[in-house]
Structure 1
């Protein structure tokens, strides 16, 4: 059988150039000369007969063919590299993955699922370090962090994978919903609206998304922790807008209800973030894949 794939060294050179944004930085990371990187990318373009990178003195852009190749090979290359490092270290050695995670997501969503990851990957030990709202990966840092924000739009140059949390839902005490018997989502704007301090504009976005363009939300109380926001809704202080993944247990148990269970997604969410160019933990690719798989399963259970 004739093989159509190029060499691993050429693929590694291409992916590293894209990730670092520079032929010279890619050469430094791969411990070769800049000329070797340039020749490897040129051989790759010759192999496919397509231009993969458009280069100028100011910038470097991926062509459509380059984007297609990158999407196809980036994760398999990372997995092969991780497997190779694990084999070289030997089967008895435990690898450590150091994470920083938004506390509410960690306690409510991630930690209950971690036994599944440990059962699948008993050779990986997950260690948590304190979460920092202003994480910038300077100094001693985690291998990766799960942060809340806007992804690459907020952290340009980082590698960011959306995990979960854009799916929001209004929740309140069952007695409040029974008393009010709202007919339209716009009716909620007259209620005491509870919000989180990092995203006070979520209510306005949600009302626009459901077509309540004339409603002007006035926030009643703002909290700096999602866990307190949820407790306030359970105490019948008003209607809270929260990430559905964080209140599944309360909704299933009937401690909270959602008056309008609509499939609304906002811009902010939880992202798995890491800094390009820094040596990653060998276990990070398998954790990343496991994390995204579990998130997709959770999102699939939400109303469509």
Structure 2
């Protein structure tokens, strides 16, 4: 397979189903879907068993017991389960445009990782999206989105294409960091840095991985106006100040000491 798409999830079946429908209509078909499941209940397993019969891409369900926010740990397990040498990362609340996988593959390059973004939707719009809207790509049409509650918002990320998308990728002031909802890299590079730091919970854990890839000598490519996904709204009950401080301290140590390989990652040797 040309790629393994790794997406994280936790007890969010309605959103996860929409995301998998998005991947089912990709222009590039030669990839697997790996669900990095941080302890969801039986409903997620039931959903995935049904969808596996309805779409052409293989679905691999990598699950661990629910023990709080351990996204970094389950992502490391998903990395090791991947059958492809190129890994695309997203979240189970981000619906990809039909050219999402093809775009990542067309921009991949040895010595680089790719950095994309997302277009955030309000709850009303997130709820309104149906399977048909995903299959027909209505949910990426600005007029349709505004008819369904988007409101006043800059939409250049959805409308840019061709030369304009390349230009905006080049001139955007947003740093091409590792963004877990839209990033990709060669599996070998991720294993070389020992994957995600499992000491980290929510808040900067993706960026810290990217910082170690930079320390390894990789560069990054900005594709936020080319690899498009829309972010479905949800609550964030797992955010707290103490965790942010801990994670920021780890990131500062990583930068200051030019850490490449975390000691608490895929391997704890």
- TM-score, normalised to structure 2, is 0.24
Structure index of larger Rg? 1
Higher helix fraction: Structure 1 or Structure 2?
1
